[in-house]
């Protein structure tokens, strides 16, 4: 299966504002290394989850794919063309093919627009179709997100919809342009538990119909259940990557193991403290030497602070970046 999206050695950096005092004192400009050499690929009909804690670079990676931030290094090949090298004009037709769904459907939908207007807006912006064709495509998009019959929803405002319905409208507005790649940034974390599974099942069925989905999430249970592959990120790097069930059932990297061990289980008999790591993700301005994870790693030894491990094949069959595996 050939890849729809290939990200190669992606790096995204942000300068840290020095402030007036810093500028006058000529302090050196500091840099946040948000994404630092990330590679992965995504095929049509596949869902890949980028998981990790805040500050691990998962959202910056998604934003670089969307060209919402510029990549400082590396390539983002979409349908064979490197997005990082395309100008605004050349990018425009490709943008239709990559759409995004945001975390908060209470903020991503304009409260003054009816469902019909919100879903039609992307078509109008891209100047697609006649009036009647657009209305037809809006109806089809609403049917695809299971807001049926569409007539029941077309004239409603966001405040008349539940959280789950709003997120479905946001997904419909992304689908109306018939993208081949959907980037979903924490698509269910603002929704009530009772409706999360419905929205995730919808994404799952869209995936089965051929859509490629890049999901950004901090929720390992969700990633494990719905994604085909999981890439675990830590401080701007992928530390482990593989088929979702394999990563969850036989995690190789100590960070992945620790993360999985502290996810609360719903069965009270499965009560255990897990491997609770001390401290929080260090900031991406001062990246530790050697393995980035070594200051928090329960298994670190002398080599870890000196030499950075690269992603390599492990006994479990999927790659991880750790000297011990």
Partner 1 sequence: MSALLEVENLHVWFDLPDGRELHAVQGVGFALDRGERLGLVGESGCGKTTTALAVLGLLPPSASAGGRVLLDGEDMLAGGEATIRPHRWTDVAIVFQGAMNALNPVKSVGAQIVEALELHDVERGAAARRRTGELLESVGIPAARASRFPHELSGGMRQRAAIAMALSCAPKVLIADEPTTALDVMVQAQILELLDALSRELGLALVLVTHDLPVVAQLCDRCVVMYAGRVVEEGPVEALYHDPQHPYTRLLFAATPDLDDLDGPVVSIPGAPPRLDRPLEGCPFRQRCDRAFEKCVVEPPLVSVGDGRVAACHLVTIPREGSVR
Footprint of partner 1 on residues 260-279 (CB under 8 A)? 260, 262-271, 273-274, 276-278
Alpha carbon distance 170, 184 (integer Å): 11
Does the protein bind partner 1 through residue 259 (CB under 8 A)? yes
Least distance from partner 1 to the Cβ atom of residue 127, Å: 37
In 3-state terms the chain splits into helix, strand, coil percentages (rounded to 5) of 40, 20, 40
Q: Are 205 and 66 in contact (CB under 8 A)?
A: no
Tally of CA atoms within 13 A in the half-sphere of 285 that contains its CB:
8
Residue 127 or 279 with smaller CB distance to partner 1: 279
Kindly report whether the peptide bond that precedes residue 112 is cis, defined as omega within 30 degrees of 0.
no
The count of chain residues that interact with partner 1, using the rule CB under 8 A, is 43
297 is a contact residue toward partner 1 (CB under 8 A):
no
Q: Which position among 133, 151, 192, 307 is part of the footprint of partner 1 (CB under 8 A)? A: 192
Question: Which listed range, 7-15, 39-47, 61-69, 256-264, lies at the site for partner 1 (CB under 8 A)?
Answer: 256-264
State which residue, 264 or 317, has the beta carbon closest to partner 1: 264
Distance in Å, CB of 80 to partner 1, minimum: 34
Q: Can you tell me the distance from the alpha carbon of 209 to that of 204, in angstroms, rounded to the nearest whole number?
A: 9
Q: Are 61 and 315 in contact (CB under 8 A)?
A: no
Cα distances from 57 to residues 27, 72, 260, 282, in angstroms, run 26, 14, 19, 12
- Taking CB under 8 A as the rule, which mask of x and - marks residues 24-43 in contact with partner 1? --------------------
Angle between helices 193-208 and 163-175 in degrees, nearest 10:
20
* Conformational region of residue 84, where left means phi above 0, alpha means psi within -120 to 50, and beta covers everything else: alpha
Nearer Cβ to partner 1 (56/98): 56
The nearest distance, CB 136 to partner 1, in angstroms, is 28
Residue of 218, 225, 272 whose CA lies nearest to 247: 225
Nearer to partner 1, 270 or 302 (CB): 270
Exactly one of 11, 48, 100, 258 binds partner 1 (CB under 8 A); that residue is 258
Give the one residue of 29, 31, 148, 201 binding partner 1; rule: CB under 8 A.
Answer: 201
Nearest Cα neighbor of 237 from 260, 217, 255 is 255
List binders of partner 1 among 205-244 (CB under 8 A): 218-222, 224-225
Shortest distance in whole angstroms from residue 79 CB to partner 1: 31
- Nearer CB in complex with partner 1: 113/195: 195
Q: Residue from 22, 37, 44, 198 that binds partner 1 (CB under 8 A)?
A: 198
> Does 162 help bind partner 1 (rule: CB under 8 A)?
yes
Q: Which C-beta is closer to partner 1: that of 7 or that of 191? A: 191
Instruction: Indicate whether 107 belongs to the interface with partner 1 (CB under 8 A).
Output: no
Structure tokens at 142: 């609403």
194 binds partner 1 (CB under 8 A): yes
Indicate the DSSP class of residue 313.
Answer: E
Cα–Cα distance measured from residue 243 to residue 177, given in angstroms and rounded to the nearest whole number: 30
69 backbone dihedrals φ, ψ, rounded to 5°: -130, 155
User: Tokens standing for 195?
Assistant: 């409706």
Q: Which residues bind partner 1 (CB under 8 A)?
A: 53-54, 162-164, 192-198, 200-201, 218-222, 224-225, 245, 248, 258-260, 262-271, 273-274, 276-278, 280-281
């Amino acid at each position: 299966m050939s890849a729809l999206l290939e990200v190669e050695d992606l790096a995204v950096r942000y300068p840290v504002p020095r402030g007036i005092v810093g500028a006058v004192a000529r302090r050196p400009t500091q840099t946040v290394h948000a994404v630092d050499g990330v590679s992965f690929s995504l095929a049509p009909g596949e869902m890949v989850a980028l998981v990790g804690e805040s500050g691990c670079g998962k959202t910056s990676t998604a934003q670089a794919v969307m060209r919402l931030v510029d990549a400082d290094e590396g390539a983002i090949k979409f349908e064979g063309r490197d997005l990082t090298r395309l100008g605004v004009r050349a990018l425009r037709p490709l943008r239709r093919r990559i759409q995004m769904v945001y975390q908060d459907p209470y903020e991503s939908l304009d409260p003054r627009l009816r469902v019909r207007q919100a879903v039609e807006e992307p078509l109008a912006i891209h100047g697609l179709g006649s009036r009647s064709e657009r209305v037809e495509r809006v109806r089809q998009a609403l049917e695809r997100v299971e807001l049926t019959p569409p007539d029941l929803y077309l004239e409603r405002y966001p405040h008349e919809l539940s959280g789950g319905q709003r997120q479905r409208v946001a997904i419909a507005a992304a689908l109306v342009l018939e993208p081949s790649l959907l980037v979903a940034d924490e698509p269910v974390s603002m929704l009530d538990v009772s409706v999360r599974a419905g929205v995730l099942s919808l994404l799952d069925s869209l995936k089965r119909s051929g859509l490629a989905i890049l999901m950004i999430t901090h929720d390992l249970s969700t990633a494990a259940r719905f994604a085909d592959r999981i890439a675990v990120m830590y401080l701007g790097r992928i530390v482990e990557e593989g088929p979702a069930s394999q990563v969850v059932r036989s995690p190789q990297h100590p960070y992945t193991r620790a993360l999985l061990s502290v996810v609360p289980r719903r069965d009270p008999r499965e009560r255990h403290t897990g491997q609770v790591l001390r401290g929080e993700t260090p900031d991406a301005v001062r990246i530790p030497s050697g393995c980035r994870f070594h200051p928090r790693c329960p298994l670190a030894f002398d080599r870890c602070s000196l030499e950075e491990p690269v992603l390599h094949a492990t006994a479990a069959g999927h790659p991880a970046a750790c000297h011990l595996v």
